[in-house]
Structure 1
Amino acid sequence: MDLDRFDRQLLNLMQDDAGRTAEQLAEHVALSPSAIQRRLRRLREQGVIEREIAIVDPKHAGRPGFFIVSLQLERERPEQLNQLRRWLAAQAHIQQAFYVTGEVDFVLVVTAPDTESYDALMARMVAENPNVSRFTTHVALGVVKRGLAIPVPPLEAG
């Protein structure tokens, strides 16, 4: 799908605050509110906008801890990789999971209410996924930046 300049503006604005009304978006994009609604519907239908979520302040959710985890696998057989991917995707406390190149195979962002809950999750992961040979944990001492926005650059004049 080709994104025009209006689509690109809308995507950046929606990633900043998806709760804005079409009227509020129209203040920033040179389109009518009805044109904005049509574009947003099309962007959703075509899968450009996958979903819209609320970002919760951790202070109001019991101050969970954030853990950055590196996983190493014994072997990278397709069936074992797929099983691990499904397992990771099904865990609510695993916010993000990346299959990566380099010395480790996966990097995870995990949130848990405390270290005991984190330890229990990791013990289950190892028990239910015997292909995981090792994991390393980094505990986040503070959050400098947290988000999922993907910058959508404007169209270059041409």
Structure 2
Amino acid sequence: MPLDELDKRLLNQLQDNCDLSNQDLAELVHVSAPTCLRRVRRLKQEGYIRKQVALLEPSKIQAGLTVIVELTLDQQGAEHVDEFERRMQSESAVQQCYHVATGPDFILILYVPTMQAYHELAHQLFSSHRNVRNVRSFFSVHQSKFDTRYPIP
């Protein structure tokens, strides 16, 4: 079902703060609480809302290093790409994995506690993997923007 204006208002509000009570959310989007609840449930059931999470402040929990990795595979056939993606999905340090066009085959975002942990992980995931041809790693020294919001047309 396509999104109508109410759905878009709900999604925009939830992207800003998914911790709102149903009553507060309903007031913000100018509908009744039962209508709001029904619409949010439908948006979840239809997969528009993947999940609701708490975003933690990395500096408060001493999250460690953010590493951006460019990676090229030696063989790019579908079975090789699928196998690589499965390996990345099973590794908790890999926060994001993008199969990209032009340039490297993959861009990864990793969170690791220390440089030593990165070296061990890189050996385990990249160096010892026969199909990994090239790896370039970049270490974040400052994050000037981080957002989880998707623009809704």
Q: What TM-score do you get using the length of structure 1 for normalisation?
A: 0.92
* Offset, 1:129: 3.0
Deviations 1:48-78 (A, max 9, x none): 1111111010012213211110001111022
List aligned pairs for 1:1-158, cutoff 5 A.
1-127=1-127, 129-153=129-153
Q: Distance in 1 between matches of 2:24 and 2:109?
A: 33
One-letter amino acid of the counterpart of residue 131, structure 1: N
Identity within the alignment, %: 28
Q: Secondary structure at the match of 2:12?
A: helix
* Offset, 1:38: 0.5
* Offset, 1:127: 4.9
- Conserved 8 A contact 2:126-2:135: no
Q: Distance in 2 between matches of 1:128 and 1:135?
A: 12
Q: Distance in 2 between matches of 1:73 and 1:128?
A: 13
One-letter amino acid of the counterpart of residue 114, structure 2: D
- Conserved 8 A contact 1:84-1:129: no
* Offset, 1:128: 5.3
May I ask how many residue pairs the two structures share in their alignment?
Answer: 153
Q: Secondary structure at the match of 2:60?
A: helix
Residue segments in structure 2 that go unaligned for 5+ positions in a row: none
Mean Cα deviation higher: 59-68 or 124-133: 124-133
One-letter amino acid of the counterpart of residue 23, structure 2: E
Q: What TM-score do you get using the length of structure 2 for normalisation?
A: 0.94
Deviations 1:114-157 (A, max 9, x none): 1111111111112553211111011111111113221112xxxx
Q: Secondary structure at the match of 1:70?
A: strand
* Offset, 1:92: 1.1
One-letter amino acid of the counterpart of residue 136, structure 1: R
One-letter amino acid of the counterpart of residue 79, structure 2: E
* Offset, 1:11: 0.6
Q: Distance in 2 between matches of 1:91 and 1:11?
A: 30
Q: Distance in 2 between matches of 1:34 and 1:132?
A: 53
- Conserved 8 A contact 1:72-1:104: yes
Residue segments in structure 1 that go unaligned for 5+ positions in a row: 154-158
Where relative contact order (Cα < 8 A, 6+ residues apart) is larger, the structure is: 1
